Amino acid sequence: MTAHYNRTEFAEALAKVGLQKGDVVFSHSSIGFFGYPEEGRDRDTVCEVIFRAFFDVLGDEGTLAVPTFTYSFCKGEPFLPEHTPSTSGAFTEWLRRRADAKRSLDPIFSVAAVGGRAVRMTNDAPKECFGENSFWDRLHAAGGRICNLNLNAGFNTFLHYAECKADAHYRMHKLFTGTIIQGGRTWESTVDFFCQSPDHPYADYDLFAALAEEQGLVRKARVGRGVIVCIDAADALDFFLTRYAGDKHFLHPEVKERACP
C-alpha cells in the first residue's frame, strides 16, 4: 500500500506553520485524514510518528498538549483522571496513556501534556474551566500556539476562553458538581463551565476561521492527504476581543439577517 507521508515530512510541515523549539502547543486532531505514514499503518505507529514529529520541532523543552475532554460532570459521571478515556480522538487518548503525560484535573475540559512545561500547564486546575489560571489562560501567558491537524482554526476550545474574557452574551456560567477519584482518594468538586446559553443561537466558529484567515492570522501546510493549521493563541484572543467589541453578533450572521427590514 502506498504511504502518504513520513515523520520528516510531518516535522517539516509543522515548522512551516511556525512551530519552533521550546513552544507550548495545543492541538485538536483528526489524524486519519493524513493517510498512512511510511513507518507503518497501525494506530500506535501513526500516533508515534506524529508525536515524534512534533518533538523533532519543539525539542525537549517544548510542550505538546491535547484535549482529553470527558464532560464527566455534565453527564453525572465521576472523573478518574488516570482512567477516564478522552473523547477527543485517537491521538489524544494515545497521548493520555503515555507514562510521561500529565493530565489536568478539570473534570469537563481536561488536557494531557508532554514536555518541558507539562506539569506547569496542567497542575492545580482552577474551579472555572475558562477562567484565570485555567489551562487556556496559561496557554495564552506562555505565548502558546493552537496547531490543529485536519481541523480549521475555528475548531478551537481556546475560543471559549476568549468568549469568557469578553463575557459573551450568548454563553453563561453554569455550575456542575460531581466526584473526582484519583490515587485512591475520592472527593466532591464543583466547577464553573461558561457554556452555551439555551436562549441564544450557537456561534459560527467556521466563520471565525474564515475571518482569521482573511486577516492573515492562520498558517497552513499540506502533509500527506491532510493539512496542518496553526494560529497563535494571542492572535486568536486579540482578534476575537476586537471583533466582538465592534459587533457582538459577528459570529451570528443569521441574527443580523433577521434584524434587517
pLDDT of residue 261: 42
Helix (H) or strand (E) holding 206: helix 205-214
- Tens-digit pLDDT profile for the chain (261 aa)? 689 999 999 999 999 999 999 999 999 999 999 999 999 999 999 999 999 999 999 999 999 999 999 998 898 999 999 999 999 999 999 999 999 999 999 999 999 999 999 999 999 999 999 999 999 999 999 999 999 999 999 999 999 999 999 999 999 999 999 999 999 999 999 999 999 999 999 999 999 999 999 999 999 999 999 999 999 999 999 999 999 999 999 999 886 555 444
Degrees (nearest 5) of the Cα angle 222, 225, 226?
50
CA distances from 99 to 24, 85, 94 (A): 19, 15, 11
pLDDT of residue 257: 52
| CA distance linking residue 176 with residue 178, whole number of Å | 7
Residue boundaries of the structural domains of the chain: 7-259
